[in-house]
Structure 1
Amino acid sequence: MDTSKLYLADFPEEHKLKNIDIVSLYHERRFDELDSVVICKDRHGQIISFFGEHNWDCFPFSRRKDRNNLATNEFSNNPELQRELKLITFGWLFNINKKKKKAVTFSSVLSRLDKMKIAYRFLNDHNYTTLRELSKPSLWQAFEAYLTDQNYTQNTIQKVFVAINSAIHAESWHKLALGFSKQIRSNTESERLSKKEPQQTLAIPERLCDAIYGKAIALIEGAYPYCQQIVDTEKALQANYMEGRRIIDDKVKRGGKFTFINKDGSINSQKFATSIKGYTPQPSKEIIAPLAKLLPEIELSNAIDFQRYLSNLITASYIVCGGFSGMRDSELNKLTPHSYYKDSFEGRDYHMLQSHTFKLGEKRETWVTAASSKIAIELMSTLTEHWRNEVVYPDDKYTNTLWVNQKARSVPPVTITHWNLRLKNFCRQFGFIVTEADYQECLESNPRSLSLIEHFVKIGQPWPLCTHQFRRTLAFYCIKNRLGTLVALKQQFKHLYLAMTEWYTNGGKLASLRDLKVDGQIINLLNAINAETTANKIFQQWHSDETLSGTHGKAIMKMRGDVPTIYSSWEVIYKAVKDGKLTLHGSLHSYCKNGYECDMDGVVAPQFCVDCSAGGSIIDEQQAKWWQKKHRSLTAYMASGEDISVSERSHYITQIRAAELVMADFNIPFSAFEADLRTIAL
């Protein structure tokens, strides 16, 4: 039993689940004992879920705002089938297998169960009681037809097969004798059964994007000067409610009879809430009136209007932070009052947001954003301060995060979930309706999402806004309007691979070209300037005494006494450049003369350009200073004590050695890096 991915490091050892032989209980049909097996305890030792329950509460494992449960209640009408699914899920959750597979996270178990339930729904619909039935060829064909009829994507079908394979793989533990002679070829079979490829998240059409983001900015900017008055109004309304409730509670204790008390003594909550209004010291409208005068353009006639306005301010702030940073929902959820700061570089101010990212391990990261994010963060810091002091956060990692709300006067504040529903309500309330032009633009901007558009985007209906559209939309318009490069977006989105960033920008480059108007005179002028600049640089390299490094740079220095004819004068060089016979492409770390013959290794690893195998690299003094900075930063990082993998260490050392070669060529003083070599006993 491997629980390393379930518990935090400080979780009390005595409250962790111990190894239990539930397989014997299952096969010996000792179901009462099986149902009493503990699935999860909290850190205080309180049992929060048993095997026999239909919905396992696993919050101590997940520690998230939502999706903390493993539910099988939809199969409660088929106990035998449900019990088998629970057994398999138990094995996944606690990584019980005899092949020593690596443990998975709770979220992976939850996702696997969601996909496995697709297979079990099919079995339940046909009154079968075990997954073993799918090993029969005739029923497997019916199951394949079911998956096709449900119109699942290739990705979903593949994950269903992966879940079944996981159950087959664990057969030596659960001993269910599933009957499959071999594992399912998930990739091949999913492609055979479905032509429906994964659909890309939608980029918001430009008119709607301007309207949604513009409304969000207008709301927070309009509220910002009066944020303290809004807080005071909220507190006054809550105090007014609590006093009304105290009065009516006292009357009930003294034997008062009320219509909200049912004959059995229970309380009709709706009638109870209505009764409280009659005992509050002040009408809500009187409390709201001073704020309504400050905000005449906002409908604030009663407490419901005020609650709606406050909710809209929260959603608007979330839209601004997400829309102008491209942060994931999980990253936005960790924003605190201290997340915003401003940085300056070369005389320009940059607005920044800091939060945690969870891809490839949790770490703190920084995102560039717009100035309006400062107002959004400060507004939320003020509006939610009193709630943040009362809310019970699901985990320490959420402590003091901004996105909390009090849904009703009678309940304590909670962290906000279901953002997609809030965003859709925002579009519905403010009338961000899809027009025919919006729909056509949506088709053109989202060529990999045609099925998604067909199902969810309807002319005359509100735009179906969701959290991940912020990332896709930012990427799309950055490329379309040439506001940034793929490399810059990769850094902003915290992607591991550039290919993922390219996926987010799909359609952006095409839209950019579609809107492009070519001015022939400007193009000719730019080409001429580019040729002159290139010729100047090549001439300087050959007809000066400046030091050069790189394979071709060193060759140039040796041949300066006997310059080849093609480099003999500026005019000859310029003509060769215009004719395409000479090229020179520059980067921060080197120049390259090879043009399309370059093997491009230096794009990924610049150290390969120092001793270029194709003989095309040239490094001048300015680029040598870049290598000097690279040497300083890498040696400092290597000495910082950070946990660096073997592959990363090797990559950094080769760059450091390349930098030392360049600095030696330019007589730049440096301290040679001494690698920390470690021996491993074999």
Structure 2
Amino acid sequence: MSVNNTVWQSKITVPVGITPPDDFIGRLGDYPTPSFVISRDRSGNPVSVFEDDCWDFRAYDIKYRPTALYFGYWISGDIDFRNREILDSLKRLIFCLIWFHPRKAHSTKSITKISSALKLIGEFAYKQNVSVEQLLSSYELLGKMAEGDRGQPVSGDTLFALKNLIQSLFKVGPQALGFEICTVNKLTDFLSSLYEYRKSLRQTPPIPSRIYSKIIRNSCSFLDIIEPKMDDLIWLIEKHEDNSYTGLTHNAQKTKARKEGKMFVQHDRFLKHAIEAGKPYVDARLYKTLDDLIEEKELDELFEKIEFSRSPHGLATGIMKIQYLCKTIIQIFTGMRHEEARFLPFDCLDVQVRNRNRFYLIEGLTTKFGEKNAKWVTNDAGARAVRLAQKLANFVYRFINVVPKKMLETPLFITPGYTGVGTNFIPLPEDGVLVPQVMSANEYKRASYLHVEITENDVSELESIDPFRSWREESEFSIGSIWPLKSHQFRRSLALYASCSGMVSLPSLRRQLKHITNDMSLYYSQGSSFAKNMLSEVKDHFIKEYQIAQPIAQSLAYLSDVLLSDERLFGAAGALVTARADGHILAEERKVIERRFKNGEIAYQETVLGGCIAVNSCDRKALRSLTACIGCDKAILKGSKLRRVIGAQERFLEKLNKDSVEYRTEVSELKILKSMYSKVESRETENG
């Protein structure tokens, strides 16, 4: 090695045990030979070399997804001399990015996102008859490129990819690149286009509570229907796939007999003829059809409810629908992203017992900022969905003789195509890395149980959550339309509703989220060691969204329950609010309130008697007394809640032994409650 040469290692994240790209030996700014190995497969064999026009990084993707950079997919015809010059320049740029970047390690996902930017650069440089180096060093040309071509604006995603590429290359530096690249901050037209794109993006709306509750109810109802019949359904599919006549459709039985050169016999006289003629035959009466087995196992309702036909294709569709249902329920009750749920490993459920309470955690990988191991809190429904998906996956693994493990190579949502169900057979991969089922994030369009019509109350609720957005002017939120469900809405909705119980006024949704609200409060709140440890490793975990949503949800609950309440408020804090409130909240006041919640200057939590505005932890909770709040200067009391608590306390006393200490204690509590309520009544009478 020359004295001036340096060993440059690739800045690309590589899963444990996988052979990384080759080290480059040379000086900063040198380029490799055409045969330099850019990537290898999981066995260590070369896959891509520098001269290739496509660099395949699949082996370095932790989920083993198809991951490649295509340098020439912007070229429509044959590659000429000008095309080749541009292609080679693009390859040199990416080589510099991966081998010469001073700090950053790139994930395969971030590298392949560059493809759209490379396409834009290649096309524009070719049309303008300039080199890639001239284009990237000219503010005028870059600004013109960002404006788009002939009224066709550049997509926002491509602009972001281009911005990230230029920023990364700027850090690589001119000595490595061989030219001075522009800085993004000086690209006025480019930044203007980015700003307009950002402005056009709408924040993901939370699902209105009524729609959210109905989606949860419908999804869990399907789970209730499928669970008790899952073993029978798998038995049915296995019978259909065991290469015998049993479990096939009637037509499939006939086709199989014909292919085997046998008579398909259904009556005695045909049987007699076959025997006398010495012909091989199949007696159809000895083999039950798919319809027969469906009725025998009482699967009729399941087939009808899940909406799949009694055919091989119907079985394949049914498996996919059940997998999608399980993924949806997991997302609803974890806040996972679509890809995080889709790529869960088979053995992902962790059950913990603390103080006789059972807690469920799901283990997997995050999808952003360098995929890392993570855990999500879930509830019983989420755990049931995992176990149901495991039953389906076990059927596939048995078929292909694989023992599933706690590894990504054995996915929870493995594609049933490996079994050939529905004739869509997928051969086993040579490297043994199995792939999950392809599930579109927009699959909800075909899932009728997720279709809920928007009502006036739903739009009003959206307006209360975000009054600064013109909801009624957006056609997708018009009354009578189906709610435009997107997979990522589950994430924001769970963060908002589970982070503050006061946000949820709908009784059904309160019941549905009760356990997960409590468990997330235990695991995800700011002081939790679990949350601190997880966020120190995984910056984009759902915990971050949950914690960000807490003050927002608290401020919304405070506005709804307190400042905009039609009911007169009592207690020290309640009386103060009533004295100041006039029933109207201006937009600026609302922003100030939300800012104070975010800064921790004020807090709000719903209580059994009304609410509490204490910022610090409450020292009265330890008393476990219904009346502990009454004398507190942070308490907000409501007459309606006092009435409900008094009624519940009276019913509770009827069940106690009148001679017990507990009875005397609870009677004392009731007297205090009634005394407070009489004061409330008298004040309400005084005020008309």
Q: TM-score, normalised by structure 1?
A: 0.59
1:105 aligns with 2:107: yes
Shift in Å, 1:24? 6.8
Residue by residue, what CA displacement relative to the aligned partner does 1:173-211 show, whole Å, maximum 9, x if unpaired?
65553x54x523179876544243464333223333223
Match of 2:384 in 1: 375
Equivalent residues in 2 for 1:400-479, closer than 5 Å:
400-407=410-417, 408-412=422-426, 415-416=435-436, 419-421=439-441, 423-427=443-447, 431-434=451-454, 438=458, 441-442=461-462, 445=465, 454=474, 462-479=482-499
Match of 1:258 in 2: none
Shift in Å, 1:136? 3.8
SS at match of 2:73: helix
Q: Quick one: distance in 2 between partners of 1:165 and 1:458? A: 41
Greater Cα shift, 54-63 or 424-433: 424-433
1:306 aligns with 2:315: yes
Match of 1:44 in 2: 43
1:57 aligns with 2:56: yes
Aligned in 2, Cα 1:449/1:526: closer, same or farther, shift over 3 Å? Answer: closer
Residue by residue, what CA displacement relative to the aligned partner does 1:103-142 show, whole Å, maximum 9, x if unpaired?
3333332334444544445445656552423534543342
CA contact (8 A) 1:312 1:426 kept: no
Match of 1:81 in 2: 86
Q: Quick one: distance in 1 between partners of 2:323 and 2:614? A: 52
Q: Quick one: distance in 2 between partners of 1:96 and 1:330? A: 31
Structure 1 gap segments, 5+ residues each? 27-32, 255-277, 530-582, 591-682
Match of 1:203 in 2: 206
CA contact (8 A) 1:216 1:316 kept: yes
**1:235 maps to amino acid:** E
Aligned in 2, Cα 1:440/1:519: closer, same or farther, shift over 3 Å? Answer: closer
Equivalent residues in 2 for 1:554-573, closer than 5 Å:
none
Match of 2:571 in 1: 524
Aligned in 2, Cα 1:382/1:239: closer, same or farther, shift over 3 Å? Answer: same
Match of 2:344 among 325, 330, 334: 334
Residue by residue, what CA displacement relative to the aligned partner does 1:370-425 show, whole Å, maximum 9, x if unpaired?
22123212211212103235399999841443111224534248533554435334
Aligned in 2, Cα 1:54/1:331: closer, same or farther, shift over 3 Å? Answer: same
Aligned in 2, Cα 1:290/1:86: closer, same or farther, shift over 3 Å? Answer: farther
CA contact (8 A) 1:203 1:472 kept: yes
Match of 1:160 among 137, 159, 162: 162
Q: Quick one: distance in 2 between partners of 1:282 and 1:312? A: 26
Shift in Å, 1:285? 3.6
1:343 aligns with 2:353: yes
Match of 2:296 in 1: 290
**2:106 maps to amino acid:** V
Match of 1:142 in 2: 144
Match of 2:18 in 1: 11
Greater Cα shift, 168-177 or 69-78: 168-177
Aligned in 2, Cα 1:355/1:520: closer, same or farther, shift over 3 Å? Answer: same
SS at match of 2:376: strand
**2:296 maps to amino acid:** P
CA contact (8 A) 2:351 2:361 kept: yes
SS at match of 1:326: coil
Q: Quick one: distance in 2 between partners of 1:294 and 1:478? A: 34
Shift in Å, 1:57? 1.9
CA contact (8 A) 1:404 1:415 kept: yes
**2:9 maps to amino acid:** D
Task: Output the aligned Cα RMSD.
Answer: 5.0
Match of 2:238 among 227, 231, 235: 235
Q: Quick one: distance in 2 between partners of 1:519 and 1:472? A: 29
Greater Cα shift, 425-434 or 401-410: 425-434
SS at match of 1:385: helix
Match of 1:618 in 2: none
Match of 1:96 among 100, 106, 119: 100
Q: Quick one: distance in 1 between partners of 2:9 and 2:144? A: 37
SS at match of 2:148: helix
Q: TM-score, normalised by structure 2?
A: 0.59
Q: Quick one: distance in 2 between partners of 1:383 and 1:66? A: 22
**2:100 maps to amino acid:** I
Structure 2 gap segments, 5+ residues each? 1-7, 77-82, 262-283, 429-433, 503-516, 577-612, 621-688
Shift in Å, 1:472? 0.7
Match of 1:2 in 2: 9
Q: Quick one: distance in 2 between partners of 1:233 and 1:427? A: 23
SS at match of 1:404: coil
CA contact (8 A) 1:158 1:187 kept: no
Shift in Å, 1:222? 0.9
Aligned in 2, Cα 1:221/1:22: closer, same or farther, shift over 3 Å? Answer: farther
Match of 2:557 in 1: 512
Equivalent residues in 2 for 1:642-681, closer than 5 Å:
none
Q: Quick one: distance in 2 between partners of 1:450 and 1:439? A: 10
**2:395 maps to amino acid:** H
Match of 1:616 in 2: none
Aligned in 2, Cα 1:351/1:166: closer, same or farther, shift over 3 Å? Answer: closer
Aligned in 2, Cα 1:115/1:397: closer, same or farther, shift over 3 Å? Answer: farther
Q: Quick one: distance in 2 between partners of 1:118 and 1:449? A: 34
**2:39 maps to amino acid:** C
Q: Quick one: distance in 2 between partners of 1:297 and 1:363? A: 41
Q: Quick one: distance in 1 between partners of 2:45 and 2:65? A: 20
Shift in Å, 1:149? 6.7
Aligned in 2, Cα 1:137/1:186: closer, same or farther, shift over 3 Å? Answer: closer
Shift in Å, 1:217? 0.9
CA contact (8 A) 2:396 2:416 kept: yes
Match of 2:511 in 1: none
Q: Quick one: distance in 2 between partners of 1:218 and 1:288? A: 21
Shift in Å, 1:43? 3.6
Sequence identity, in percent?
17
Match of 1:552 in 2: none
Shift in Å, 1:88? 1.2
Q: Quick one: distance in 2 between partners of 1:452 and 1:171? A: 50
